[in-house]
Amino acid sequence: MKIIHGGVTAPLGFKANGIACGIKKSKKRDLSLIVSEKICNAAGAFTANKVQASCVVVTRERLKDARAQVIVANSGNANCMTGKSGFENTKTVASCTARILKLDKKDVLVASTGVIGKPLPIKKIIGALPDLAQGLSKRGSAYAAAGILTTDRIVKEIAVEFWIDKRRVRLGAIAKGAGMINPQMTSQGPRHATMLCFVTTDVVITPNALRDALDRAVAKTFNTITIDGDMSTNDMTLVLANGMAQNKKIVEKTKEFRVFLKALETVFLTLAKQMIRDAEGATKFVEVSVTHAQTFEDARSVSKSVAKSSLVKCALFGCDPNWGRIAAAVGYANAHVDPWRMHIYLGRELVLKNGGRVAHQAKALNRVFAQKNIKITVDLGLGKYKATAYTCDFSTDYVKINSAYRT
């Protein structure tokens, strides 16, 4: 597998664009479009929040036939909790886009991110769609990636090239993160943060294999990150596979499926880590690894509990190796925990062994916590399961950004 240029336009047959239509006061790009030359097999994973933006409801519905050709997305407005007119607006965006592209509206997927509870400025979007479509190009991925950002500082985009049964194939993606990030996405049903990720690929793959790969990859990557513990109403990951690489069709439980899954996981993990590094106010990248849990769910629950703890995150910001806060967060996770069997490591330094502290030179621990990349390991000493969560620290800047977001 090789990293290549081009983002979502790297695979055969995809064009993209992103422009400013006036939703954002900053006049930055806020409307993006990705179009495939041919109809695609498609799959989506959506927030588990029970309060869902209208784009989540409408796009999930439209993916029931597992086919799509277009993704249109706006930033600056989540179009969530906007009543029935919110749904009408989502459908209007889809049908206007379809009309301009001379495609079927049921093959247009819509995504939104931004402030909740404000009516979508539908006229601005409709007015900008012709220009947006006009500018579609093979070099438009970075523009599309810019058009979905909110408080993100950097564009998140990646593409890889790999081989399926001697055919060269490509996979590209763009994403956004930054805040309200604690995604729990599945293709099945409700889960919530706003993170968006749009994936294009030219592989030939069955709809079932595509959905299965998406769910597995999302569970191991995006769903393991948390910035603020707040699950969004708008999280969405969409994959379009147009089959133009003409490889042998990928079906489940084959070697080819595993190769595709590995590529998808690599792309998602890269983007997930980019989201953490670009998180609101973040100064540190933190990996919380839990080992020897009784069940996978226990491992996952403990890793997220530590990664979400405000006190742990403040200690990380302050470079204060206060591992007692880590132990407390382990203890209130919904998991089987025996303090007398628990070990905690900061970096490679063992600080807690079987419920008792290990004496340390303060300097060694301070050195670990002074780094930009910090690994915390919790060995529960109970079973064979493990999980990793990724997070950042909690800074005064995080509070500043989020206390003045709308004003």
Q: Candidates 148-156, 212-220, 255-263, 308-316 — which segment interacts with a copy of itself by CB under 8 A?
A: 308-316
CB 245 within 8 A of CB 202: yes
| Interface pick for a copy of itself out of 36, 49, 89, 90 (rule CB under 8 A) | 49
Nearer to a copy of itself, 277 or 325 (CB): 325
Asked if 151 is an active-site residue, the reply is no
**Cβ density class 92-120: b for 16+ within 10 Å, e for less:** bbbebbbeebebebbbbbbbbbbebebeb
Nearer to a copy of itself, 102 or 361 (CB): 361
- CA torsion, points 331, 332, 334, 337, in degrees to nearest 10? 10
| Interface pick for a copy of itself out of 188, 318, 371, 373 (rule CB under 8 A) | 318
Q: What span, in angstroms and rounded, lies between the C-alpha atoms of 46 and 59? A: 9
Q: What span, in angstroms and rounded, lies between the C-alpha atoms of 213 and 178? A: 25
Q: Can residue 188 be called a binding residue for a copy of itself (CB under 8 A)?
A: no
| Interface pick for a copy of itself out of 78, 96, 217, 276 (rule CB under 8 A) | 78
Q: Candidates 38-46, 47-55, 164-172, 208-216 — which segment interacts with a copy of itself by CB under 8 A?
A: 47-55
Q: Candidates 127-135, 169-177, 195-203, 351-359 — which segment interacts with a copy of itself by CB under 8 A?
A: 351-359
Q: What span, in angstroms and rounded, lies between the C-alpha atoms of 200 and 38? A: 12
Looking at the DSSP bridge assignments, the partners of residue 288 are 376, 389
SS3 (DSSP) at 227: coil
Token reading at 284:
């540190």
Question: If we measure between CA atoms, which residue out of 129, 124, 116 comes closest to residue 56?
Answer: 116
Q: Which of 90, 194, 224, 291 is catalytic?
A: 194
DSSP string, 49-68: -SS--HHHHHHHHHGGGSEE
Q: What span, in angstroms and rounded, lies between the C-alpha atoms of 281 and 270? A: 20
| Interface pick for a copy of itself out of 231, 275, 286, 382 (rule CB under 8 A) | 231
Q: Can residue 52 be called a binding residue for a copy of itself (CB under 8 A)?
A: yes
Nearer to a copy of itself, 52 or 242 (CB): 52
Nearer to a copy of itself, 351 or 389 (CB): 351
Q: Candidates 31-39, 82-90, 160-168, 384-392 — which segment interacts with a copy of itself by CB under 8 A?
A: 82-90
CA 161 to chain centre: 21
**Which region holds residue 346: left if phi is over 0, alpha if psi is between -120 and 50, else beta?**
beta
Binding mask 323-342 for a copy of itself (x = CB under 8 A): xxx-xxxxxx----xxx--x
Question: If we measure between CA atoms, which residue out of 35, 37, 12, 52 comes closest to residue 234?
Answer: 52
| Interface pick for a copy of itself out of 1, 3, 38, 119 (rule CB under 8 A) | 119
Nearer to a copy of itself, 6 or 281 (CB): 281
Nearer to a copy of itself, 31 or 351 (CB): 351
Residues near a copy of itself (CB under 8 A) are 48-52, 78, 80-86, 115-119, 179-180, 182, 192, 228-233, 308-311, 314-315, 317-320, 322-325, 327-332, 337-339, 342, 351-352, 354-357, 394-396, 398-400, 402-407
Catalytic positions, written as ranges:
194
